[in-house]
């Protein structure tokens, strides 16, 4: 996996950049998210002994995250997930009651963040060290880009 760059600065965000980040979880996880001070990666939940009521991924996606070095990262969408994408969380059984969290881009400043021009579990997806690099490379039409924090 490509290393993310720290201290990206807020110049990456704002009117011409990212306004919000998004994370899809199950509504039943909201209380734990609040109690634990925010969302956690899979590795973070294990490390902290947090029992996730409704994990959004499955064994295959967790294995793929581990193989790509992303199990200690949180997956965030760079644009608001549309209704069809949120519905896939429900239809696949990953979330019985999907809920989209809005997150300030400031949450990823000074953190190791890797940006992707699609689903990081798909081998063809490219990774970038900064949001600007992703923008310059271009996001393919119809693809929802992600960040792993």
What was the pLDDT predicted at 13?
A: 52
Best CA proximity match to 58, nearest among 106, 121, 6, 133: 121
Q: Which residues of the chain have pLDDT under 70?
A: 1-17
CA–CA gap between residue 53 and residue 27 (Å, rounded): 10
pLDDT of residue 24: 92
Q: Is 43 exposed, middle or buried (0-12, 13-18, 19+ CB in 10 A)?
A: middle
C-alpha angle 64-66-67 in degrees, rounded to nearest 5? 65
pLDDT in tens, 101-118: 999 888 887 778 889 998
Token duo for residue 34: 């609040």
The pLDDT, as a whole number, for residue 99 is: 93
pLDDT at 112: 81
Under DSSP, the state recorded for 113 is B
């Amino acid at each position: 996996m490509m290393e993310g760059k720290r201290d990206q600065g807020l110049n990456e965000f704002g009117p011409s950049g990212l306004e919000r980040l998004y994370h899809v979880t199950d509504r039943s996880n909201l209380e734990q998210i609040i109690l634990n001070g925010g969302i956690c990666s899979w590795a973070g939940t294990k490390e902290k002994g947090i029992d996730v009521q409704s994990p959004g991924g499955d064994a295959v996606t967790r294995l793929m995250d581990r193989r790509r070095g992303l199990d200690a990262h949180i997956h965030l969408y760079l644009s608001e997930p549309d209704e069809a994408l949120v519905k896939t969380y429900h239809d696949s059984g990953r979330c019985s009651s999907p809920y989209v969290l809005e997150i300030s881009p400031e949450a990823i400043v000074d953190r190791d963040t890797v940006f992707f021009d699609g689903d990081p579990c798909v081998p063809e997806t490219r990774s970038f060290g900064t949001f600007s690099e992703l923008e310059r490379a271009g996001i393919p039409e119809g693809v929802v880009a992600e960040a792993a924090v």
